[in-house]
Amino acid sequence: MNYTLQQLKYLIAVADHGSVSAAARALFVSQPAVSAAILHLEQIFGIQCFVRHRARGVTLTAAGRDFIAEARQVMEKAESLQGHAGRLNESLPPRLSIGCLSSIGPCFLPRILERFEQAHPETVPTIFDGTTECLVQRLRSGDTDVALMYDLQPEASIQTIPLVTLKPYVLLSRSHPLARKSFASLNQLLEQPLILLNRPEYEEHLSSIFDRYADKPRIGHRVTTLDLLRGLVAAGAGYAILNTKPLQDHGYESNKLVCLPILEDVPSSRIILAISQRAGLRRNARAFAEIAVECIKSFDPVSCHWNEPPAPLPFGHPLQPHAVTEFPKIAESA
C-alpha cells in the first residue's frame, strides 16, 4: 500500500477540527491537498471515514472512528521512532567516511587527516581508497561522505570544491640520457618505454597529453602502485608521467630519480574535494572541507615543500601540489 504519514496527519486533523477547511487552515495547507489525502486513504483502504455535509463539515463513520484511532497510534509510533533515532545519534560518536584515489591520496590525506583529528577528536574517520568510478558510486549512495579525487562532470548529488591544479612532469632515472636537461620533450620519449600506472583516471589524462601525436607512447610496464612505478623508473626500466611529486627524489633502488617539466603545453589536472549530497550539511563534513582547503594553502609551489614540517604519519609520503584555489562557503545546517 502506498500512503504517507503526512496523509494520515491530514486525516486526523479533519477528524479533530470537524471539517476539511478548518483542518487546512490549522495545517497551513490548501483544502484540495487535504481532500486529496482523505480520498486517497479511503480508496486504498476501502473505508469511508467521513460523511460529508454540505456547508456543515463532516462527521465520522463508525469505521472511520476505529480507523483514525489506529492512525493515531501509527503517528505516535513514528514520533517515537524519530526520537529514538535522535538518541542513538547522540550516544554514538560521529563518523566520517573519507574516500581518495590511491594515486593522489598520499599527497594530501595524511596532513589533512592529522589536522582534522586534532580539531575534531570526537569524530571517527574511516578511509576508503578506490577508482574514480567506485568513489562516485559511494558518494551517490552516501557510503562515502567526502573524497579527494580528480575533477568530475557536474552532477546534483555531489558537490565539488576545487583544491589544487597539478601540472604533469616526466619522471626519469638520474642515469637517463635526458636527466641533465632542463626540460623533457614528449617527442624524445615516444620511442622509449613508458611505465604506466594502471588506473582509469590516470590513463584518461595520459591520453589527453598524447592526443596531438600520431604515434602513441610505447608501454613498457603496467603497474598498480606508485611505489612500484618509481622503483622501476629508478632502475632504468623506462620513464613515467605523473602529477604529484615525492618529497624525496629516490625510489627503492639506489639510483636517484629526476623530475623534469614537460617542454610542450600539456593539460593540467585539477584535484577536488567531492562531498556527498547526504553529507553536505553535516558539521563534520563541512569541517573536513574547511581544514582541507587550509592545509593545501600551506604548500609552497616554488620549493615543492610544506611551509612547516608535517608530523610523522603511519602511511604514505607527502607529495607536492602546484596551485591553490579559493574555497566556496558551504551552507550552514538548519
pLDDT in tens, 243-298: 887 655 444 444 588 989 999 998 888 899 999 988 876 788 989 999 999 998 88
Which of 3.20.20.60, 1.10.10.10, 3.40.50.11540, 1.50.10.10 would CATH assign to domain 5-91? 1.10.10.10
CB-side neighbour CA atoms (13 Å) of 82: 7
- Name the burial class of residue 312, with classes exposed (0-12), middle (13-18) and buried (19+) by CB atoms within 10 angstroms of its CB: exposed
Domain boundaries, the chain: 5-91, 95-166+269-320, 169-261
Q: Which amino acid is at 116?
A: F
* Mean per-residue pLDDT, 205-225: 87
pLDDT value at residue 147: 95
**pLDDT given for residue 53 in this prediction:** 86
What is the layout of strands, in order, in the sheet containing 124-129? 124-129, 95-100, 146-150, 269-276, 158-166
Q: How far apart are CA 25 and CA 8, in angstroms?
A: 16
pLDDT mean over 125-153: 91
Which pLDDT score, from 0 to 100, does residue 107 have? Answer: 78
pTM of the model: 0.63
pLDDT at 88: 63
Asked whether the CA dihedral 199, 126, 320, 155 is positive or negative, the reply is positive
User: What is the three-class DSSP state of 208?
Assistant: helix
Distance of CA 162 to the CA centre of its chain: 12
Which of the four pLDDT bands, split at 50, 70 and 90, describes residue 143? very high
Nearest partner of 137 among 276, 279, 273, judged by Cα: 276
Note the CATH number of domain 169-261: 3.40.190.10
Distance CA 122, CA 161 (A): 25
Specify the CATH architecture of the domain 95-166+269-320.
3-Layer(aba) Sandwich (3.40)
